[in-house]
Structure 1
């Protein structure tokens, strides 16, 4: 089924996701931080078939919106227009890009919980963040194909998680349920699933064993202290 996919960000990840979505037969709208003209050439060259639009248009007319911009630029998003929208949080915190942000390195909550809090009325689902853009670009395979790679999906709204999983499947990847937004810390940098370009069974194991991993134990200690 054709879906209108809105993508915020015309960088490497954004244009890869746009190409995959166009190849899957979706209508694709790409928004940057400025006017559409500022990214039109990039979109035309790197994601032919996608259309450069304003952020407001991408937010209001898409069935699903993908955040493929630096996490530190949340303030540039049209929050009101995204109310009620299913938003795929494909962002990661990078000190070099986002600067020192203690709120994004706090083990008490995942960065997707920060995104959800910031966007308020939107329904946030974590996905498309743990696989490198080059692997995403090279990895799509038809459903059931041997060696098909998997993308983890996490969220609090089950209907939204299903919607995003359906989109991911259409892009050429299996999906693995990674739990709630709180649990999605298992997909962030320094967790073993981060960077994973593997099949579903292997990714599911990485997600399931996160609590016993060095990073998982570190997160558990921090959260246990907060409860006390």
Structure 2
């Protein structure tokens, strides 16, 4: 029996989006890729097109896809279609990195993960944080079949356990070992300023990095913000 895989829509046609499209197409997923504007601006490589990936507008990709990967600059998150993504699994692969993004309103609170801010724009979507902490180059070069020595790992954070498990399967199909970080708020452990961000490591090493979050730059900023709020803070 031939497995019918869900359509993956990728919002963002930059280098990262194209790499993710290649991984998805190689894994046998139908793929549609959208730039921020006209679909004719999406120039997919021949190998990606040959495996069936197709360009689309953001609205078309959101409508057709069953799983959507956000591969846009995070400052454009409010342009993401809301209604077509209601009830769908949405993988947030974006990052807020003030050094490159500048100071963006809503993303500067050290007690709030960037995915929680994105969820405010997509409240009816099943949001999962994943694919954000490894570079496009490493994603492209390090994919390996399940069980292969030297396989690298990708962290996953979500409140919806069923959506999390679906994304774990996608990550595995893409060629990486999934590592469950925790709830969506725990996606902060994969953000810029943490050891996992930019890391290219196996599941054991990634888990140790995630557990070391309190000692990271991001973790220390969060601890200082909690201390400043005093004993009434929930400390979560």
Shorter-chain TM range is over 0.9
Distance in 2 between residues matched to 1:154 and 1:144, nearest whole Å: 23
Q: Pick which of 127-136 and 95-104 moved more.
A: 95-104
Aligned partners of 1:29 and 1:58 also within 8 Å = yes
- Alignment equivalent of 1:26, drawn from 29, 43, 50: 29
Give the number of aligned pairs. 226
Aligned partners of 1:70 and 1:97 also within 8 Å = no
Aligned partners of 1:66 and 1:87 also within 8 Å = yes
Correspondences of 1:1-228 after superposition (within 5 Å): 1=3, 2-39=5-42, 42-45=43-46, 47-48=48-49, 49-95=52-98, 98-226=101-229, 227-228=232-233
The secondary structure found in structure 2 opposite 1:104 is: coil
Aligned partners of 2:62 and 2:68 also within 8 Å = yes
Distance in 2 between residues matched to 1:4 and 1:224, nearest whole Å: 45
The secondary structure found in structure 2 opposite 1:29 is: strand
Distance in 2 between residues matched to 1:68 and 1:138, nearest whole Å: 18
> Structure 1's 96 and 218: CA in aligned 2 closer, same or farther, altered over 3 A?
closer
The secondary structure found in structure 2 opposite 1:206 is: helix
Shift of 1:103: 1.9
Distance in 2 between residues matched to 1:213 and 1:72, nearest whole Å: 24
Give a deviation string over 1:83-112, Cα, whole Å, max 9, x none: 111100000113465332142121110000
Distance in 2 between residues matched to 1:95 and 1:146, nearest whole Å: 36
The secondary structure found in structure 1 opposite 2:28 is: coil
Distance in 1 between residues matched to 2:159 and 2:227, nearest whole Å: 21
Gap regions ≥5 residues in structure 1: none
Gap regions ≥5 residues in structure 2: none
What TM-score, normalized to structure 2?
A: 0.90
Distance in 2 between residues matched to 1:97 and 1:205, nearest whole Å: 27
Distance in 2 between residues matched to 1:90 and 1:188, nearest whole Å: 10
Distance in 1 between residues matched to 2:169 and 2:140, nearest whole Å: 18
Aligned-residue RMSD, C-alpha? 1.6
Shift of 1:224: 4.2
Aligned partners of 1:150 and 1:174 also within 8 Å = yes
The secondary structure found in structure 2 opposite 1:203 is: helix
